[in-house]
Structures are given as structure tokens and as C-alpha cells.
């Protein structure tokens, strides 16, 4: 899929509990300045009015007629039918709100709504990590190519999206990729988001530093303490990121076991990847122990840290040899290493979501 030269325009929205940010995409790029309006999260009439007003302003500024509206909106939701459920950060949405059908009626355009984690993964599969790695493999002369991607966002929560063979995998209830509900390895009584999130980092720091959670520093400050750029409890900071990495690595290993694809990480906490990513990959490369004491790899694939230059070179090189084609004098290249990799977003989470929304709409229209 390559929409870089596509001339069609799609109107998009980034919906948050405080603001609604509207713009438009063409050729995988934003083509106008953003328009920001208050979300009026606790008043449905005002919120819906803001959404209509925002898209109306975008449409009035476009040179070309838009072909669709496509955007990310919080769940729970029946995304294929454009119905939004009970939202924690937008309390006006209760009991089911038919947002998609309303917009379709107002603007006479197809409307596509998805989860931000799904659109993030789709954007990375189209214009982010997936094509970047495949281009690098081609340049390295490798026969290996990747078609599947697990996209993860580390931030306020722990989000995920799955792309399978170029298509966004949504599930039967718009509920695929709900990685935040996996069990937490370090606390089996709760879910993984209690460790892999902003609050998770702050909670561990507070516990180790023996302070109240309210007094715990921000993730950026914890990172600066850990790296020596800021004064503070360095042991508590290091412990916070160690637990974060171990818990995240365990959850991602569980997911990759079923998906068998590359993993890309975005979100606000991805900026600390130099601290957590090596340990995260080590966790994924861990081993199980049988009752007789023998060990075997947790994953069938070897996991590479794609942000480590040496590991990236080994990943691109692979384990290749020539083997004969039985009954002939011909030989073919055989890369016998089963491997995967974890990398950090190069295009940024927001842009990936916008590209994902744009491409999803055009993909659906082309069908």
C-alpha cells in the first residue's frame, strides 16, 4: 500500500478529553493547519456541535472536495458501525452514541472511526517501521520480508494494534489488540497497564522511594534521575524502569507468540527506550524450564533490539546458506533463523495515527 501520491483528501480528528483537533490529509501528509476546539466532554450537545463545527471549518478551507472522514476515537465502541460507548474521559457519551451515522448524514461522506492503537499500528505498517525494515533487508541482500506488525503505545495507558498481511485486524467486536488487559507478570492479581503506563512508573518510584504517589515525579523526571541529569533517588528510578521493562517484555512476548511479526513502540514513554528497551528484549529472549530442569526458548523466534546498531546489523544479515534444489543442479538461498525485532517509531505516534486514519479510509473506499 502506497498512498504517498494519492490525490484524494480525507478529513481527520484527534479526539481528547480536553480538545478536539481537526485537520485533513492528502498523499499521507497533512495539508492544512490544525483547527482546535474544546471537546466539552461533559455535554453531549456541545461536544457533537464542536465536532460538526470542526469538520465544517476544515471542509471550507480545502481546495479539493474530501472523499471521507476518518479518525480515532476512544472506546469502548462499535467502530464498524460508528457507535461510541461509555467513555471514561468523555462522560457525555453514555448508552451508545451514533457518531458515525450522524456525521455521515451531516456531510454526505463515508465515515470511518477506529481505536487510536489500531490506527497507530496501521500507520507504522504503511509509512513507518515495517517498510523501513523491509527496505533495509532488501538493501542488505536478505531474502527475508515482514508482513505483520504489532504496534504499541506506551503512555497514559498501554495500547496496541495489529496489522496482518497489510490489513488492520480489528476482531469481531472491535476488540482486537486489547493488550492492556493481559495479566501483569509482577502482580498476577491485576492487569499489565498497572505497570506499563505513566502511573505504573510513578507508583514503583513512589514505592521504592517510600513517598506518596502524589509526590512521585513525572516519567521525564524519573528518566532524568535515572540517567544522572537530575538529582533524586537514582535507585528508585532505575527500579521503576526495570520493572516497567520486565512487565512490558513479558506481555509483548505473549502477544508476539500469537502474531509472529515485528513490534514497534510509540507513545510518550518511548523516549526512554535507551533505558528500558534492552531489558525488555532480554525478557522476550528468556527461557522456560521443564520439570526435569532442562530449558528451552520462550519464543520460537530470536528477538533483536532494532535500536542497537550491532543487533540491527545481525538482524539484517540473518543466518543464510545456500541449499540444493532436490533433483537439480540449482541452489537457493535459505535464511534458517526464525527472528523478529522490536523498534521505536521513527515517524512519531501522532503522524502514524493520521496516516493510519487516511490509509484506512482510502483502503475501504477502494474495496
CB 73 within 8 A of CB 15: yes
Q: For position 38, what pLDDT does the model report?
A: 92
Quick one: pLDDT at residue 146? 97
> How far apart are the C-alpha atoms of 195 and 172, rounded to whole Å?
28
What pLDDT does residue 1 have?
Answer: 62
Q: Tell me what the pLDDT averaged over the chain comes to.
A: 94
Residues in the chain where the model's pLDDT stays below 50:
none
Instruction: Tell me the pLDDT tens digit for each residue of 76-115.
Output: 889 999 999 888 778 888 889 999 999 999 999 999 999 9
What integer pLDDT is reported at residue 150 of this predicted model?
98
Domains present along the chain, CATH in parentheses = 9-115 (3.30.420.40), 129-346 (3.30.420.40)
pLDDT at 74: 84
Residue with cell 524450564: 289
Cut 0.85: pTM above it: yes
The whole-number pLDDT of residue 91 equals 85
Q: How many residues are listed for the chain in this entry?
A: 367
Where b means 16+ CB within 10 Å and e means fewer, 94-116 reads: eeebebbeebbeebebbbbbbbb
pLDDT given at position 48: 94
Is there a contact between 218 and 205 (Cβ–Cβ < 8 Å)? no
Q: What is the pLDDT of residue 88?
A: 79
Q: How many Å apart are CA 230 and CA 223, to the nearest integer?
A: 9
CA–CA distance, 223 with 219 (Å, rounded to integer): 6
Centre a 10 Å sphere on the Cβ of residue 254 and count the other Cβ atoms it contains.
Answer: 18
Amino acid at each position: 500500500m502506497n498512498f504517498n501520491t494519492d490525490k484524494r483528501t480525507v478529513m481527520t480528528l484527534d479526539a481528547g478529553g480536553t480538545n478536539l483537533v481537526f485537520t485533513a490529509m492528502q498523499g499521507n501528509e497533512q495539508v492544512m493547519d490544525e483547527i482546535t476546539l474544546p471537546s466539552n466532554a461533559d455535554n453531549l450537545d456541545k461536544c457533537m456541535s464542536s465536532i460538526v463545527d470542526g469538520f465544517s471549518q476544515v471542509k471550507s478551507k480545502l481546495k479539493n472536495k474530501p472523499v471521507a472522514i476518518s479518525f480515532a476515537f476512544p472506546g469502548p465502541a462499535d467502530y464498524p458501525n460508528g457507535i461510541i460507548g461509555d467513555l471514561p474521559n468523555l462522560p457525555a457519551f453514555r448508552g451508545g452514541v451514533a457518531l458515525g451515522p450522524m456525521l455521515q448524514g451531516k456531510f454526505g461522506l463515508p465515515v470511518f472511526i477506529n481505536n487510536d492503537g489500531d490506527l497507530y499500528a496501521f500507520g507504522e505498517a504503511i509509512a513507518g517501521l515495517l517498510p523501513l525494515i523491509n527496505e533495509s533487508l532488501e538493501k542488505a541482500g536478505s531474502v527475508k520480508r515482514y508482513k505483520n506488525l504489532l504496534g504499541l503505545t506506551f503512555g497514559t495507558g498501554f495500547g496496541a494494534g495489529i496489522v496482518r498481511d497489510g490489513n488492520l485486524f480489528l476482531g469481531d467486536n472491535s476488540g482486537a489488540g486489547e493488550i492492556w488487559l493481559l495479566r501483569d507478570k509482577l502482580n498476577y492479581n491485576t492487569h499489565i497497564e498497572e505497570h506499563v503506563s505513566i502511573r505504573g512508573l510513578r507508583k514503583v518510584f513512589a514505592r521504592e522511594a517510600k513517598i506518596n504517589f502524589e509526590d512521585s515525579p513525572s516519567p521525564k523526571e524519573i528518566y532524568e534521575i535515572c540517567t544522572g541529569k537530575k538529582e533524586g533517588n537514582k535507585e528508585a528510578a532505575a527500579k521503576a524502569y526495570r520493572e516497567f521493562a520486565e512487565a512490558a517484555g513479558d506481555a509483548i512476548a505473549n502477544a508476539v507468540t500469537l502474531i509472529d511479526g515485528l513490534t514497534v513502540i510509540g507513545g510518550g514513554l518511548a523516549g526512554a527506550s535507551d533505558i528500558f528497551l534492552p531489558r525488555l528484549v532480554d525478557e522476550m529472549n528468556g527461557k522456560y524450564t521443564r520439570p526435569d530442569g532442562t530449558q528451552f526458548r520462550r519464543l520460537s523466534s530470536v528477538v533483536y533490539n532494532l535500536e542497537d546498531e550491532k543487533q540491527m546489523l545481525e538482524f539484517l544479515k540473518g543466518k543464510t546458506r545456500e541449499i540444493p534444489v532436490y533433483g537439480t543442479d540449482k541452489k537457493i538461498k535459505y535464511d534458517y533463523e526464525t527472528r523478529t525485532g522490536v523498534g521505536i517509531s521513527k515517524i512519531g505516534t501522532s503522524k502514524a495515527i493520521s496516516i493510519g486514519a487516511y490509509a484506512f479510509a482510502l483502503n475501504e473506499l477502494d474495496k
